[in-house]
A and B are shown apart, each in its own frame.
Chain A
Amino acid sequence: MKLTTTKRLERLHDRYANGDLSRRTFLTLTAAAAASAGLSMPWMGRALAAVQEVRFDGWGGTVQDAIDKFAFQPYTAKTKIKVVQGTFGDEDEIITKIKTAKPGDYQVIHSSGVNYYIKYVNAGLTSEINEANIPNMANVLQPMIEPFRKLTPKLSAVPYDYGTTGIAYNTKVISPEEAKEKGAALLLDKKYAGKVGGYSDMTTRVWYAALATGQDPNNLKDMDAIWAKVRETRDLAKKFWSSGAELMDLLSKGEIVVTDAWSGRVAALQDQGHPIGYLDPAGSYAWMEDMLILKGSPMAECEELINFMLDPATSIAVAEGQSYPPSLDPNKVKLTEKIEKLPAFDKTGTMKSLTFADPTYWATNEDAWTKQWNRISKGA
């Protein structure tokens, strides 16, 4: 949808009325708009024309396929704004690219929740969303929005989905009973040495080491014990995977028989008929994902896109497609039976049954722990 000058001015007025803009800024912008309209040349119309495309970067694979099919394609059909897509396997990778690009080159990121949000904030990459332009945010779970708001009262991201990193296992090798009995300890079972996998990510490795040592992942007391467990898993592991596609490849080809895994990717494997079981052990690592708008992006168009993505019909279709529950509040929006059966789905809407990483605590230790994990992963 092209945003007309009138609509832009209406939005400007709305932001002023909502207190998002100071009187001085509002008058300056209005005067600038008036001047540009009055003094415009024929070429300026083209130069100032509404944005024709929005850049989106996500996790690729089945997740992005679902977003593309159920959100972007209908959005483009409706508005004529094209969504240009890129993918990444690791979010740090895209942060590096964003840092080296000029503002606006990258615009909307399918980001990994508050833990990563803090990195964008620290690097000065965040924008300020005008929530009035995203009315569908009213349906988003407040417990998912609050952690973001604690970091920046003016949001730069909107929660979109959530999931868990639980234990996936090959049911031809490991029975559901054994998996249930051993839980997270399966990753340390010597019986499966050389057939164990894991996400090559510091948070996941430390989290599961915390569960194995009986510590609270959000308040670790004995880091030596944690690193010892991380090494133990490393020595049993065949491969630490670094993308959802690689995880699915390793599990489906039987290269590994047990691994910590993203719930949605496992659901996708199960849909494809692979003999893969999944369980969330007590304290399983829960995470949320958000649509983050970067500084320098065309805000009106990005907000419009996110609002479209949060429309209940779109959001439900995407959730079913990517196999991750949506951020919609089940007390406000009627969700489908398929979504209610997804791993990690919280029917109460309070998110109290899920254990998320405390962003402040993890951010404090992130640098040192990531460095240590990188070393251990390479045999140190």
Chain B
Amino acid sequence: MKRRWTLYDPRLAWMLVAPVLLLLIFFLVLPIAVMAGYTFFTFVTAGVETSALTTANWHEFLTDSYYSGFLLKTLRVGAITAALCGVLGYFPAYFIWATTFRHKWLLLLLLIVPFWISFTIRTFSWINILGEQGVINVALLKLGIINEPLPMLYNEGAVILGMLHFLLPYMILNVYVSLESIDRTLISAARSMGCTSAQAFREVTLPLSLPGLAAGLLLCFVLAAGSYVTPQLLGSGRDALFGNLIYDTIMGELNWPMGATLSIVLFIVLGLFAAVYTRYMGMSQIVKGLGG
């Protein structure tokens, strides 16, 4: 007897999911698989490689402390950036959530406005702010506060600042979404049971908003650690991150097998962080945060 379709038929579910699955396979899984295959190719000279299989690239990565040093530095900068995003992003998110301002949508719109401007231009703008002839130095010099321009550009601080600029909206949105899901009667209940405002925040609001904060931290960390443009524009060579190493290996040395190896390493390391987060927190919070 022919089976009839039902509303929750697994076949229907597969059919609905199939287009996305195909997209994922062709545009995510397959490219990563090709990159993974490339890690075993043999580098001949700049721009030339053969498909003779070798483990030389992995051997070089695992035995050369230059790469592991860079990886640790990248994770450190990513962690600092994410932590700063957490500290600086929580308060605006809390303010937007708590405000009684009638046009709250306007505040949320302001968060999204920076995305209307090209990321590269936004990053370049810091050169005109932090540079020797930038707004800050010129103002301080004219006010007579300093005699020599402050070295604020082309260092790690500038790189982190640039990444904060880029990542802060992601953090604020994640925390805001998390705060929005809190049942406000819980706070009222805490207050009616004798909690001060600060205690109600510490005992109720903060713990319930932690999933959003954690999701923001993960997102900011992964994006910062995979960053390439910001260190390139606002940092010196010493402030390069792992992404710059990959770029130079592929684009500068034209050594695709080694570049692929480094790419897969970064993918695995950042993937591990995401996996650990998913294990304990679940991905739903990030999806909510990105969805607004």
Contacts and interface: CB of A to CB of B under 8 A. Distances in A.
B125 to A, nearest CB: 13
Contact of B154 (A95, A122, A234, A239): A239
Contacts of A200: 237
B213 interface: no
A239 B240 CA distance: 12
B252 A92 contact: yes
Contact of A378 (B131, B132, B245, B250): B245
Contacts of A123: 47-48
Given A253-B131, A255-B131, A93 B48 contact: no
Contact of B70 (A93, A234, A371, A378): A378
A67 interface: no
Contact of A253 (B70, B132, B236, B255): B132
Given A240-B237, A379-B237, A90 B47 contact: no
Contacts of B248: 374
Interface in B234-263: 236-238, 240, 244-245, 248-255
A348 interface: no
Interface in B29-52: 45-48
Contacts of B153: 255
B195 to A, nearest CB: 51
A248 to B, nearest CB: 13
B66 A375 contact: yes
Interface in B66-108: 66, 70
Contacts, number: 71
A239 B45 contact: no
A377 interface: yes
Interface in A240-286: 240, 242, 249, 253-255
A366 interface: yes
A255 B153 CA distance: 10
B133 interface: yes
B151 interface: yes
Contacts of B132: 253-255
B131 A379 contact: no
B253 A254 contact: no
A23 B244 CA distance: 52
Interface string A205-245: 00000000000000000000000000000100111101000
A378 B253 contact: no
A92 B251 contact: yes
Given A374-B248, A374-B252, A99 B47 contact: yes
B238 A378 contact: yes
B70 A122 contact: no
B131 A367 contact: no
Interface residues of A, number: 31
A24 B238 CA distance: 59
A64 to B, nearest CB: 19
Given A122-B48, A255-B153, A238 B236 contact: yes
Interface in A52-95: 90, 92-93, 95
Contacts of B253: 92, 367, 370-371, 374
Nearest to A238: B154
B46 A366 contact: yes
A240 B248 CA distance: 14
A240 B250 CA distance: 19
A95 B237 contact: no
A229 to B, nearest CB: 16
B66 A119 contact: no
B249 A95 contact: no
A367 B45 contact: yes
Given A122-B48, A194-B151, A379 B254 contact: no
Contacts of B245: 378
A98 to B, nearest CB: 9
A230 to B, nearest CB: 11
Nearest to A370: B253
Nearest to A123: B47
A6 interface: no
A379 B238 contact: yes
B237 A122 contact: no
A16 B245 CA distance: 50
A255 B132 CA distance: 6
Nearest to B252: A92
A239 B251 contact: no
A254 B66 CA distance: 34
A239 B236 contact: yes
A92 B251 CA distance: 5
A96 interface: yes
Contacts of A122: 45-48
Contacts of B133: 253-255
A374 B250 CA distance: 12
Contacts of A242: 232
Given A253-B131, A380-B66, A119 B237 contact: no
B46 A370 contact: yes
Given A122-B48, A378-B70, A380-B66, A93 B251 contact: yes
28 contacts: A90-B251, A92-B46, A92-B251, A92-B253, A92-B254, A96-B251, A99-B47, A123-B47, A123-B48, A194-B151, A200-B237, A238-B236, A239-B154, A240-B237, A242-B232, A253-B133, A254-B132, A254-B133, A367-B45, A367-B253, A370-B46, A371-B253, A371-B255, A374-B249, A374-B252, A378-B70, A378-B238, A379-B238
Given A122-B47, A237-B236, A255-B153, 9 more contacts: A93-B251, A119-B46, A122-B48, A200-B237, A234-B237, A254-B132, A371-B255, A378-B237, A379-B238
Interface of A: 90, 92-93, 95-96, 99, 119, 122-123, 194, 200, 234, 237-240, 242, 249, 253-255, 366-367, 370-371, 374-375, 377-380
Nearest 7 interchain pairs by C-beta: A377-B237, A379-B238, A123-B47, A374-B248, A378-B240, A93-B251, A239-B154
